[in-house]
Every structure is written in C-alpha cells, then in structure tokens.
Structure 1
Amino acid sequence: MHDLKRGSSHLLLGAVLFVGAIVPALAARDMQKNFNELTSAEKTAAKRAAKKMYEEKSLKRLVVCADPGNMPLSDVNQAGYQNKIAEVIAKKLGAGLEYFWRPYLERGLTRETFDTNMCDVLLDLPAVYEPALTTIPIYKSTYAIVYRNDRGFAFKDFDDPALKGLKIGVFQTSSIRQVMTKKGLAPYLKLKTLSHNADLHPENQPWRQVQEVIDGTLDVAAVWGPFAGWLKTMKGEPITLQPVNLWEDIVPMEYELAAGVPKTDAKLKYLLDLALEDSKAEIEKILTDYGVPLVQCSTCLVQGNLPSHGAYIKPASLEYKAKPESASPDQVVTEQKLEAWLAEGADLTQELSNAVLASDQTRIRFLVKKGADINARDPQGYAPVHTAARKRHPELIALFAELGADLNEPDGDGMTPLQHAVMRNHVPSVKMLLERGADIEKKNTVGYSPLALAIAEAKFEVAKVLLEAGAHIDAAAGPDALTPLMIASSQVSPGEGAIFLPESTRPIDLARDLIKRGADVNAQSKSGVTALMIAAARNVAPMIGLLIQAGAKAGLKSVQGQTAADIADQNGAEAAAKALKLIGKVSDEDGH
C-alpha cells in the first residue's frame, strides 16, 4: 500500500512494452458525460466494462481522498474505519491503495478533490449527494445523545426539560445543532467549530466532545453516533448512546452513506459497486468492531438493526446541501485575531498557508508585511504559489508574483507552479504564470516539460496555450526521450473511443499544430520508436494518415528492428495495419 502525503500529486508517467516497441503508458482519458446524461445503452456499456475490469483485476491503483485527522472515521495513520473499508475495496479490486489527505470540510470538498483530479473516491458521502456520483448505500447511521452511565439520564426527546441547564457539546455545522437551536436549547450549547488541521491538533477532532463528557467537562454531547460508538465499543468507555433519529420529523437525523466518485466516472461507480457487494461481510465486521450505530436500511449493503425513521417531511438532506462559500462569523479571521495568534506564538508559515486556502488577499498581504516568507513551503511541501495554481486562482498567482514569489521553484514533489496549473487544465492560471515569467520549459523530476506533461495527461486546452506561447516542439521528455508529437500520437481521438465537446482541442489537432510549427515527424526516441510506430501500436488510424501525409517514413525501424507495420500486426491493431499496408502498396506503385 502506498501513502500520499496531504496534498501531494500522484503522476504516473513512464513507458510500457508493446511487443517490441516502447510507447508511453498513457491510457486514453475520455472527456466523459455526466452520469445523468448517459443513455441506457451507455450505462450498460459502462457496467460491462466495469465487470470486465473487476474480473481481470486490471485497475492498478485506487486513490482515496481521506481526512488526515477525524477519528474514528479516518486519520493519517490509516486507523479509521473508512481506511479499513478502503483497504478491503482496494484488495477486492486488486489495486494498490493510495491516499490524498484533505480535511473533510464541506466547503469545496468535491471541487478541490474530484475537479482537480486528486483522487478517485470519497467515502461516507450521503447516498443522495448532487456534487458526486455515488455507489450503492453502504450503511445508515444516526446522531446520538451521549452521557456517562453514572449520570442516570434517560431523555425522551429534544423537548425533554431535563436537557435545559446542561452543558451540551455539539458540532458547529451539524443538523442536530440546528434542531436543538430550534427547540430552544441554544443557550446551553457548547460549540466545536470546523478545523482544517485536526491531524496536527487532535484536540480539534469532533470526537473529543465525547471525551469531554467522559472527563466531566460536559454533561452531554450531541454528536454523530460513530464518534461515541468507537469510544464505547473499542475503548470501553462507560457511556450511554441514545439514538435521536426518531426524535425529529423535519430535519434528518439519520443518513444513508455511500462512496462517491466523479460524476463523469460511471465505470468506476459500477466497479466499486461490484467490490462492495463482494465485501459485505468484511465491511459489516469493520463497522461493528468500531461500534458504529447501524440503522435499519433495506437498500444498504449493511442492513443494521436500530429502528429507522424512514421518510422525512422535507426529503432533502439538509446537513449536506451545498453551503455558501463565505465563512460564518466565527470563522472570519481579522487582523486583530491574527495579531493575537502571532503574539501567542502562531506559526507565520502556517497562517500564510491558511490565508491562501481562504483566498484572502488582505490577510496574505498583512502576513507578508509581518515577515511571512512568500516562498516557504507548508508541511505538505507547497509554497503559496503552488497552492494558488492547484486551486485555479490566477488572481492569487498575480499577487504572489507581485510579492516576489519564485514562480519556478518546485514543490516537495518536484512540481512547479506551471506544472500544477497544467494538471488542472486551467488556461487562465497557465496564462497568468507565463505572463509573470514562469519558465515554459522547466521539467519535473521525471523529465517532462509542461507541454509534454499537458499532452501526456490529456490536458489538451493548456497544451494548445503552451504551443501558442512558444513551447519547444521537439524537446525530449522522460527517460524514453519522447517528443510532444510522439506523446500526442499515443492519445485517442474521436472515433477511437473518446468523446470531445464541440470546438474542444483534440490530440490530432495538437499533432497537426506541432507539424505545422515544424516538429520532426521522423524523430526517434531512445529506443528508436517514432510517432508513426506509436500511432500504429495504439491503432490510431487518423493519426497515421496525418503523419504519413507530413512525411513520416513507414520503413524506419526501432532498436528491436521493427517497422510501424510490424508493430501494428503484433499488437492486433487492425485499422493501423490496413492503413500501413495500403500506404506501402501505394508507395510501391509510385516507385517510392
């Protein structure tokens, strides 16, 4: 199992052997439609493809987004039940498990994970969650009222007068807080607020309110049930859990939870469904071992035994609906707060990182004036400009350039800000970096320039921008010395299985542009492979036609002594083989 530090990129670039010819291991990345836009036939095709992948165990890795500090759900030591479930799923798929660590804050959750291609899966999303495509429901759980056994409480409902006057711990953005406020209990609530760094400061994790009940600091905690179930079952703490899902008829107190994937990845959704179905017993044991209160759910993988409320008057899951981007009043960071925190010993670099995550330009300027190093890396290895590029914020990139940031300094993984912007396929960020002087040719640790990286990772729009900005058209990339034209020749175009929006840039458009700008169509890689050989191995007939028309020589041989036609034959690339044979006959007839 591999573990990605919080925020690290996870590129897979390299080369594989195609029966004697080395070509990039760059699978075609379809510009897919959202799940709800698929026809029945397309969904059926996705199911069949997922079943084939599952049977062949052909998924090589599964990248899961997880909170680095939110026990018992997940933590950076992989000790939470979400981590254990992820391990089971990955094992069923035959895939290596990797993590992208990110706090599970609702604001920007899918936008800063799925939309930036940082992970494949988010666990414990509501089964009906608009920003993502979800699997079959895995389990249903409930909020609970928690107290020490020796307190002798036995609350009847939220209107129970015994609740008044008690010190009640509750999480800031929970629906149980909403209900208790509605019931007139607001004066007695002790709020635990959102925290982005609970992995570094475990005392900020939500389960700590249950510990405060055990320690006697709080009388009662109104929490998500699994927080208390873990302490009762795995830690043996003397506490009582009263499920509250039957106490409220408007705001839901129970939720069916599932795994979520990007809305465009129907195949992965069906693949996970298969793995989940085959893992039912193991997942049920994990949830039981962790003391998760399991509510009855006929549609869930794990069916549960606690009584279920069923349908609510308001069907929408209020807790998980999209929240506004603006912070709540208690989360607003003022200069006065910063001054106080710095006086108490707060770390300037961490505070600058927080300001960048909040896109707060006023805060950023204030902290730099206070002496914050604009080029200092945070604990995840990012300088502020790396984060701005990753978050698609060209206005922050401009600010950092103004403040003297090094636009070419690699992050802890060797990625420059420009390469991060490329990975997001974000044209405005790429243009801003280039305008401010970013090096268009600076390579990453595996030797890929921004242009080569853009084409290899199917970020075709930014590849077009880089070409127009003057990127070197024949610069060799990676250990195999592949040119941009070779990499473009490995990609799939419309008609070969990919779906492109009208007016979007396609691999063949990039290849045509490269040729127009003077790219060497007969350049050979370290192993003697040409763009034509790669197109032949990938069975991309239109690319073969373009390359031949531009002067590609079909008779060139690789280090293994194979021509493009040989490679097409040995790889079963029928369309490519026919095209090359036809070209050979025409050449013979013309006397060439």
Structure 2
Amino acid sequence: MTGAAPKRRLAIALLAVFAMFVGGDAARAQINETGDLSIELVDPKVLRVCADPHNLPFSNEKGEGFENKLAELFAAKLNKKLDYMYFPQATGFVRMTLGAHRCDVIMGFPQGDDLVQGTNPYYRTAYALVAKPGSGLEDVAALEDGRLKGKHIGIVAGTPPATNMAVNGLMMNAKPYPLMVDTRLDSSAEAMIADLVSGKIDAAILWGPMAGFHAKKANPPLHVTPLVKEKTGPRLAFRIGMGVRGADQNWKRLLNRMIQENQPAINKILIDFGVPLLDENDRPIGAETATKVQ
C-alpha cells in the first residue's frame, strides 16, 4: 500500500511526493494498434521491473520482497527473463524509472492514482493496528475505540490514519515516525515495531503489508487488526494493482490477464508475507479461501 502506502511506502502516502512524468505517450498509443509489445516495452523478451532496492516487505536488491516474488512468478508465466531498474521510492521515482523507459512495470501501485496507468487490482488491504497479544487492543478495528484513549500510539507522519487519529483526539500521546527516510539506513516500520516490543509505545499503526510482515517476524508474533471500521476521516482500505505507462494498452491487457489467471498463486505469496487481505466488504480473506481457484 504497501503504503504505497494509501499511498505506497507506507505505502500509500509516499505517492504524494512522486514526480509526474511526461513523454510521447499519446502518439505512441495511437500507433500501436497491432498488439505488438515491442513498441511498448523496453525489451519484449525481458520483464523489466521498477523497484526500490531497500524496501521490504515489498522489494530489495536480494529479491526477498513479495513484489520480487510476484515478478518472478510473472516472468516465469510469460517466459521472459527478469531484470530490475532499482531506484529509491522517493521524489522522482516514477519519472526516473517507468517514465524514462528504463523499466516497464511497477509491481505495486494504488488504484486510482493518476501518476501511472493502473492494471486491475490484485489485492486489497488496509492500514492496521499492531498490538501485543494480551494487551486488550487486539481487536481494535477503529481509531474511535475508547480503549485507545491515553495510549501511546506509533504513527507514520503524513499517512492517512494520522488524520483519523487527530479527529479522535489521539495525537497528544502519539509518537510520530518519519515518512521519508533513507531506506538504505533506516526504517520507520522497524523502529516502530521495536518500540512496541520494548514497551515504549502501546500500539503501532502501519500500512497493512508492513504491519503483517513485521508483526509476523516479531518474537512472539504481534497481533494485526485492519482498521476497517472508521466512521470519520479518510477510509483506510485501498486496492493495489500494477503501474504501467499511459500509452501501454496491450501491456496492461496482458498483465490484467496474468493477474486473473494467477490470482490464487498471487494470494499465496501475499499471505506468506503476512499481508492482511480483505474482500470488498472488508472481511479478512483467509489462506484457504485466498488460494482456491475460482
């Protein structure tokens, strides 16, 4: 999301700082009516992915993120080699990667953002509250819940749930963590989880994929509850698809078909990384349902 971040890195709020990219997309879209992907792609024999080199659980240079695993799945299904254009997900990410024709797809991008052309979404998730088992906060699904009053809550500054926290009077005791960090050296999510485990904060609010990934790694594992009961402030659930250039219609159609045909395998990868999947009615999607062929 994530947090985007949502805009992505959190996943989601990060998109607010992405630079717009421009180019000859309109002209290219008009001439490519044949379905020839060589017109749209940097190299039609290679799946060239735009990614952050230090941004787990999404991606890293070692190929350890779930977006790396999704890229491997798609490369195999498409019978293509896999290559990456790595660039930090900060200002200029889209312009310097997809927009500069150095790669052909961003593996995770929130639906509805106009920086890129989005594919059909392949998962839906939400910001989530992370708490210790036995804390009494395990089933908190809305920031208006009275059990949060007076609690020290970790929040990534500038992300959508910060607005909801302010509306519900929770910012007085909140501990903010920076949205923009050098991911080679620092991680707000890791710092927040460390503070939760040590008792410096009572709960943490993170973009769903980050929440699930870090909660699963903790010892003992932490409890993750998607914040799907919000009645004030912005909604905190988002659909995530892939991002391509605006002119690349045939490439988008191919990716849409790949998503549809491989949804159970996609879901399995996401669940293995702890991503809290949601259906369109905000109900959790369990492993058995998620990996079942429709």
Q: Same fold (TM over 0.5)?
A: yes
The match for 1:134 is 118
Map of 1:55-70 to 2, 5 A cutoff?
Answer: 59-70=44-55
Show the counterpart of 1:169. 154
Is the 8 Å Cα contact of residues 126 and 237 (structure 2) preserved in structure 1?
yes
The letter of the residue matching 2:116 is A
Deviation (angstroms), 1:34: 7.4
CA displacement, residues 219-266 of structure 1 (integer Å, 9 cap, x when unaligned): 110111222212344556431112112223541200000000111211
Q: Residue 107 of structure 2 corresponds to which residue in structure 1?
A: 123
> 1:452 maps to what in 2?
none
Establish whether residue 280 from structure 1 lines up as the match of residue 263 from structure 2: yes
Q: 1:141 to 1:268 in 2, by over 3 A?
A: same
Partner residue, 1:239? 222
Give per-residue Cα distances to partners, 1:303-328, cap 9 Å, x unaligned: 9628xxxxxxxxxxxxxxxxxxxxxx
Provide the rounded CA distance (Å) in 2 between the counterparts of 1:97 and 1:276: 17
Q: Distance in 1 between matches of 2:123 and 2:141?
A: 26
Matched residue SS, 2:163: helix
Once residues 176 and 186 of structure 1 are traced to their aligned partners in structure 2, the CA distance between those partners, rounded to angstroms, is 11
1:111, distance to aligned residue in structure 2 (A): 2.2
Helix, strand or coil at the partner of 2:26 = coil
CA distance in 2, matches of 1:248, 1:116: 41
SS at match of 2:83: strand
1:114 is aligned to 2:107: no
- For the 8 Å contact 1:65–1:101, the answer to whether it is kept is yes
Task: Work out which of the residue numbers 126, 134, 155 in structure 2 matches 1:150.
Answer: 134
Structure 2 match to 1:33: 26
Corresponding residue for residue 263 of structure 1? 246
**Aligned 8 A contact 1:139 1:304 in 2:** no
CA–CA separation in structure 2 for the residues paired with 1:227 and 1:99? 22
Distance of 1:305 and 1:34 partners within structure 2:
42
Displacement after TM superposition at 1:146 (Å)? 0.9
Cα distance per residue 1:12-41 (max 9 Å; x no partner): xxxxxxxxxxxxxxxxxx954279x86xxx
From the superposition, tell whether residues 75 and 217 of structure 1 become closer, same or farther in structure 2 (CA, over 3 Å): farther
Deviations 1:374-408 (A, max 9, x none): xxxxxxxxxxxxxxxxxxxxxxxxxxxxxxxxxxx
Aligned to 1:79: 64
- Paired amino acid for 1:78: G
Residue 148 of structure 1 aligns with an amino acid whose one-letter code is K
* Greater Rg over alpha carbons, structure: 1
What is the alpha-carbon distance in structure 2 between the residues aligned to residue 134 and residue 127 of structure 1? 6
> How far apart are the structure 2 equivalents of 1:215 and 1:69?
25
Output the TM-score relative to the length of structure 1.
Answer: 0.40
Q: Is the deviation greater in 205-214 or in 266-275?
A: 205-214
Equivalent residue number for residue 546 of structure 1: none
In 2, the alpha carbon distance for the partners of 1:206 and 1:94 equals 35
Q: Distance in 2 between matches of 1:245 and 1:158?
A: 10
Query: Using CA pairs below 8 Å that are at least 6 residues apart, which structure has the higher relative contact order?
Result: 2
Q: Output the CA distance in 1 between the equivalents of 2:141 and 2:114.
A: 34
| Identical-residue share of aligned pairs (%) | 28
Inter-partner Cα distance in structure 2 for 1:170 and 1:66: 25
| Contact kept in structure 1, 2:130 and 2:215, CA below 8 Å | no
Q: 2:89 aligns with which of 104, 112, 116?
A: 104
In structure 2, relative to structure 1, the CA distance for the partners of 1:69 and 1:90 (3 Å cut) is same
Deviations 1:564-585 (A, max 9, x none): xxxxxxxxxxxxxxxxxxxxxx
Cα 1:90–1:182 change in 2 (3 A) is same
**Judging changes above 3 Å, is the alpha-carbon distance between structure 1 residues 117 and 272 closer, same or farther for their aligned structure 2 residues?**
same
Matching of residue 94 in structure 1 with residue 74 in structure 2: no
2:175 maps to which residue?
190
Q: 3-state SS of the aligned residue for 1:151?
A: coil
Judging by fraction of residues, say which structure has more strand: 2
Take 1:34 and 1:179, find their aligned partners in 2: how far apart are those partners? 43
Matched AA of 2:277: L
| Residue type of the alignment partner of 1:64 | V
Q: Structure 2 vs 1, CA of residues 34 and 137 (structure 1 numbering), >3 Å: closer, same or farther?
A: farther
1:305 to 274, 278, 285: 285
Tell me which of 179, 182, 185 is aligned to 2:164. 179
Structure 1 residues 207 and 279: alpha-carbon distance in aligned structure 2, compared to 1, 3 A threshold: farther
Residue 278 (structure 2) aligns with: 295
- Aligned partner of residue 188 in structure 1, secondary structure: coil
The 5 Å alignment of 1:44-59 reads 45=33, 48-49=35-36, 59=44
The one-character-per-residue Cα deviations of 1:455-499 (angstroms, maximum 9, x if unpaired) are: xxxxxxxxxxxxxxxxxxxxxxxxxxxxxxxxxxxxxxxxxxxxx
Q: How many residues align?
A: 258
- Per-residue CA deviations over 1:40-61 (Å, capped at 9, x if unaligned) read xx89x46x446xx9xxxx9311
